[in-house]
Amino acid sequence: MPDDALATRAHAPTSEATSSHQDWMSRAEALALPTRHRIAGADADGSGSTFAVVSPRDGRTLALVADAGEKEVDLAVAAARRAFDTGPWPRLSPADRGRTLLRIAALIEEHRSTLALTVTLENGKPITESYAVELRALANTFRWYGQLADKLTDTAPHTDPTALALVTREPSGVVGAVVPWNFPLTLAAWKMAPALAAGCTVVLKPSELTPLSALLLGRIADEAGLPPGALNVVAGDGPTAGRALGRHPDVDVLAFTGSTAVGRHFLHYAADSNLKRVWLELGGKSPNIILPDAPDLAAAAATAAWGIFFNQGEMCTAPSRLLVHESVAEEVTAAVVERAGTLRVGDPLDPATEMGALAGAARVDSVEEHVRRGAEGGARLRAGGVRREVVPGGSYFAPTVFDRVTPDMPLAREEIFGPVLSVLTFASLDEAVALANDTEYGLAAGLWTSDLSTAHTVARRLRAGTVWVNCYEEGDVTVPFGGYKQSGNGRDKSVHAMEKYTELKTTWIQL
């Protein structure tokens, strides 16, 4: 789900990320956290009501953060509207906008350890992943769109010699961006960076579980030279702040990443307000197909285990359905089970930790319920399936593997969003493709084969926005990301993301 940083496999050595456990704990104790909205280039308290941000690491309250209601959303949207209608941002040259995004990227690098630590405390992922994956993706995204900003061109179609036709792209206006807690900065950047590069202004609403890093990013963007109101960050929950942003008549485009159920709400909000365009990146139940001619079965099994347990399994592209040919099913499953048993579940502030805390107690409860239903439904539990006591008060769960899963089971159909792998077997290639496509989702898929023709033909048959062949979760910001079916519409990343934040205008001049 993040970009090329995943090639680091979350444990590439970096000077700060390999600081000691005690050093990160000391930094956490001294960390000053932002608690106020960022509106029109300044901190804002709003109505005075607050909500607690609780760390899944240990259940401790990190901060009491200003809680946005309709009034605060109105103020943020009004600031973005002024900045778009009369402010300098849309009127700057693309090169000048690009230079500002590059300054944001440079400041992200400067504040990298603070941002990474904030993400780990509010999200629960290991500090090595926050530093080497999340923050690298964040900086890369702003840097790439900063470099792209002045590279886009308009067109002049060939017409009758008596006329001149121009087709130009113009910024859409005010963008509302609502992002989840699993990659709070990466997914914010995927929305913000192309929107800002296009000349739009933005109101960002992060998840109420992880607002702190987004509030800090808002201050960094202002420090980099964004005009007041070009980026505004409001903290609040979905039913109040998210709904207010979705229904707001002065929001021109809404970009959302999250669950399919909530995505439906935003479509209703648009229909009930100004018919704003709504771009959705939603859930997934991604298949990972291993054929018997995979070039390296051990590597395929290791990647399958890494993919489902990375980020605690809290990832929309997680390869949660492992589809294995019956002739190699036990060999592959046994290797994944062995890895699940050796994976180090630990304190997210310990650089040696490989899997940290789930996003909170409610997440653990949900995963535990899925495991209970799976076992009662006839699947065989091969590994995990229990809570872990790592840091007192924290939210930890063991890496979990089920086999003997059938396509009709909830384990094979519902997005668990946790470290739970379901193994299904198949006897033929056609059966594998049918199993892979037998889902309401279509976000991603994996395929392991040594046959080039099989790779191409199966990739074309899979109904998914991304197909990885002999790898998983690879790629970078140059390629588009998004889904088919109920996994959403539109694309994040790449030049194609600019299409979401621009309008096509035709100018016909009679000569």
Q: Where are the beta strands (DSSP E) in 274-337?
A: 277-281, 287-290, 321-325
Chain center to CA of 151: 26
What per-residue string of b and e applies to 316-335 under the rule 16 or more CB within 10 Å gives b? bbbbbbbbbbeebbeebbeb
Angle between helices 186-198 and 94-110 (to 10 degrees): 160
Is 471 tagged catalytic?
Answer: no
What's the DSSP call for residue 282?
A: -
What is the Cα–Cα distance from 118 to 401, expressed in whole angstroms?
31
The catalytic residue among 72, 200, 316, 354 is 316
d(CA 400, CA 384): 4
Which element (helix H / strand E) includes 21? helix 21-30
- What is the Cα–Cα distance from 282 to 264, expressed in whole angstroms? 10
Torsions phi, psi for 14 (to 5 deg): -140, 150
**Residue recorded with tokens 């804002």:** 44
| Three-class secondary structure of residue 256 per DSSP | strand
Residue tagged active-site, from 281, 314, 354, 473: 281
The three-state secondary structure class of 230 is: coil
Q: Are the C-beta atoms of residues 125 and 38 closer than 8 Å to each other? A: no
Phi, psi of 108 (to 5 degrees): -60, -45
Q: Give the catalytic positions in this structure.
A: 281, 316
